[in-house]
């Protein structure tokens, strides 16, 4: 290559790297759909133009938490003009269970109901209101069974949806027995409703050869494709799933978007007509699961500085009536029950408690927040017991860099910057001065109280099922 060409190439490279880049770290990048979102032009499932001859589905749900189904009579449903079909589990052509990992989630109740709000039958009509009125006219007779509604009762009765798991390092019983200080406690952690903007919704169009096009608001398109294929008893390649935007998910549409999609697909298969199901907000909140509430029992030993010697944790997740994703969620709570702290000798039990409530499901953090709340409660309890600043107790228990750096599940903590980050935040936030100011205020304020906390977080970002830690794409 001539010197002229070398110079030209260097000049081109210099020009390339001197461009005013509009993307990259530290630069504001607008979401691709931002303009459509703020202008209201973004098309969600419920905004799609409806098909000619489209049916609307409404599910009749159980009005009791636990009961045996004695009789279902859908004959009264057909007295309403515009009703096309009423279905029960007996009308499902393929698999009747849509459990995402293990069975336990019947699409429509079979023989018994296990939570208030469980779908028992579904009616498809020319509009949603007609479908609702017809569904409520069906006759359903029950024999009541005793429900389990309290997670503590479920734990003590060993009423579980899946087997319990245990993480153990060292001899926590011996460590607790010899610790200078020892305290016990319990903790209830509440659940949350996802409250996505667009409720659970699907719209389907039957195609030739028994196939189906499914427009669905879901965080897991492949799983909905698989489950629709299974309830129809067709190969997956017969089902096409279109998912452009969700209108919110937060975990609530990871598994539980499948129910409306599968109900629509069954109706569309039986009638040959396009079918849509949009859950009204009340039905959505009744039929679908939440973040797992947890009940925690702890027994902890520590020294005069608040440093842990040993701990026993029992983490009981309220799973609702079926497994759903509860196995992995309780596991993640166990994996985060140390948060940023070396637990010493530790025994952590994770229980998947069965209650007669809607099956709780994925929610941002996926069990991690519940595990971290548990150990942070322990840190605060120790600080109150010793009369020490809670941050001092937390720092005394931080993972170290070269020792005290192995978790209770035997993973070495690497690239640990906790001490440096905490010191910088303590200084920049004037932590000590503000704590003292709050202490003086609270001493002179009998009703209104203030508080301040500085709390670390160590959060894992991978799946415990290692084969899930990969991705693939087909690019044309």
* Sheet with 67-73: strands ordered across: 112-113, 67-73, 139-144
Tens digit of each residue's pLDDT (9 = 90 or more) over 157-206:
999 999 999 999 999 999 999 999 999 999 999 999 999 999 999 999 99
Across the range 308-323, mean pLDDT stands at 98
Domains of the chain are 151-190+293-467 (3.30.365.10)
Left (φ > 0), alpha (ψ -120 to 50) or beta: where does 320 sit? left
User: Which positions ≥6 away from 454 have C-beta within 8 Å?
Assistant: 391, 394, 422, 425, 426, 429, 431
Q: If pLDDT is split at 50, 70 and 90, which confidence band does 16 have?
A: low
CA atoms within 13 A on the CB side of 45: 28
Tens digit of each residue's pLDDT (9 = 90 or more) over 44-101:
999 999 999 999 999 999 999 999 999 999 999 999 999 999 999 999 999 999 999 9
**What is residue 21's three-state secondary structure?**
coil
Residues, the chain: 476
In DSSP terms, 345 is beta-bridged to 310
- What is the sign, positive or negative, of the torsion defined by CA atoms of 94, 99, 100, 102? negative
**Amino acid 9: pLDDT:** 61
d(C-alpha 66, C-alpha 397), whole Å = 45
User: Which positions ≥6 away from 313 have C-beta within 8 Å?
Assistant: 296, 297, 298, 334, 337, 346, 347, 348, 349, 374
The yes-or-no verdict on residue 20 having pLDDT over 90 is no
Residue in the structure block whose two tokens are 């011996």: 174
Do residues 173 and 154 lie in contact, with contact meaning Cβ atoms separated by under 8 Å? no
d(C-alpha 55, C-alpha 125), whole Å = 5
Tens digit of each residue's pLDDT (9 = 90 or more) over 429-452:
999 999 999 999 999 999 999 999
Residue 41 tokens read as: 């032009």
In 273-330, where do the E strands start and end? 275-278, 294-302, 308-318
Pick the closest to residue 377 from 398, 394, 400, 364 (CA basis): 394
Pick the closest to residue 341 from 291, 367, 307 (CA basis): 307
- Could you tell me the pTM of the whole model? 0.92
The yes-or-no verdict on residue 126 having pLDDT over 90 is yes
Q: If pLDDT is split at 50, 70 and 90, which confidence band does 227 have?
A: very high
d(C-alpha 342, C-alpha 345), whole Å = 9
């Amino acid at each position: 290559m001539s010197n002229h060409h070398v110079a030209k190439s260097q000049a081109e490279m210099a020009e390339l790297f001197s461009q005013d880049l509009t993307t990259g770290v530290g630069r504001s990048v607008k979401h691709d759909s931002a303009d459509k979102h703020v202008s209201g032009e973004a098309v969600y499932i419920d905004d799609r133009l409806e098909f000619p001859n489209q049916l609307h589905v409404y599910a009749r749900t159980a009005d009791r938490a636990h009961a045996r189904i004695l009789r279902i009579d859908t004959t009264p449903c057909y007295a309403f003009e515009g009703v096309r079909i009423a279905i029960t589990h007996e009308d499902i052509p393929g698999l009747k269970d849509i459990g995402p990992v293990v069975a336990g989630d019947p699409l429509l109740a079979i023989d018994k109901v296990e939570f208030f709000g469980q779908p028992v039958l579904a009616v498809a009509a020319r509009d949603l209101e007609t479908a609702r009125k017809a569904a409520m006219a069906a006759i359903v007779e029950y024999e009541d069974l005793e429900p389990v509604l309290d997670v503590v009762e479920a734990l003590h009765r060993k009423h579980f949806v899946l087997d319990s798991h245990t993480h153990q390092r060292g001899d926590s019983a011996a460590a607790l027995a010899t610790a200078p200080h020892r305290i016990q406690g319990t903790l209830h952690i509440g659940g949350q409703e996802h409250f996505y903007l667009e409720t659970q919704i699907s719209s389907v169009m039957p195609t030739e050869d028994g196939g189906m096009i499914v427009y669905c608001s879901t965080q897991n398109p492949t799983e909905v494709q698989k489950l629709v294929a299974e309830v129809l008893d067709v190969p997956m390649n017969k089902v096409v799933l279109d998912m452009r935007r969700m209108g919110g998910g937060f975990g609530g549409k990871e598994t539980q978007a499948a129910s409306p999609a599968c109900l629509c697909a069954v109706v569309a298969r039986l009638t040959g007509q396009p079918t849509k199901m949009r859950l009204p907000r009340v039905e959505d909140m009744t039929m679908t699961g939440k973040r797992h509430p947890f009940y925690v029992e702890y027994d902890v030993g520590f020294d005069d500085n608040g440093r842990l010697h040993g701990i026993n944790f029992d983490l009981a997740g309220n799973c609702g009536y079926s497994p759903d994703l509860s196995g992995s969620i309780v596991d993640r709570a166990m994996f985060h029950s140390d948060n940023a702290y070396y637990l010493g000798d530790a025994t952590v039990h994770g229980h998947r408690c069965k209650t007669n409530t809607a099956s709780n499901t994925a929610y941002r953090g996926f069990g991690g927040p519940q595990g971290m709340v548990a150990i942070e409660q322990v840190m605060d309890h120790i600080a109150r017991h010793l009369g020490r600043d809670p941050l001092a107790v937390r720092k005394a228990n931080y993972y170290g860099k070269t020792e005290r750096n192995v978790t209770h599940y035997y993973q070495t903590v690497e690239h640990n910057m906790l001490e440096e980050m905490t010191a910088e935040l303590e200084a920049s936030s004037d932590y000590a001065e503000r704590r003292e100011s709050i202490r003086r205020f609270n001493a002179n304020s009998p009703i209104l109280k203030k508080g301040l906390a500085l709390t670390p977080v160590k959060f894992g970002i991978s799946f415990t099922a290692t084969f899930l830690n990969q991705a693939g794409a087909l690019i044309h």
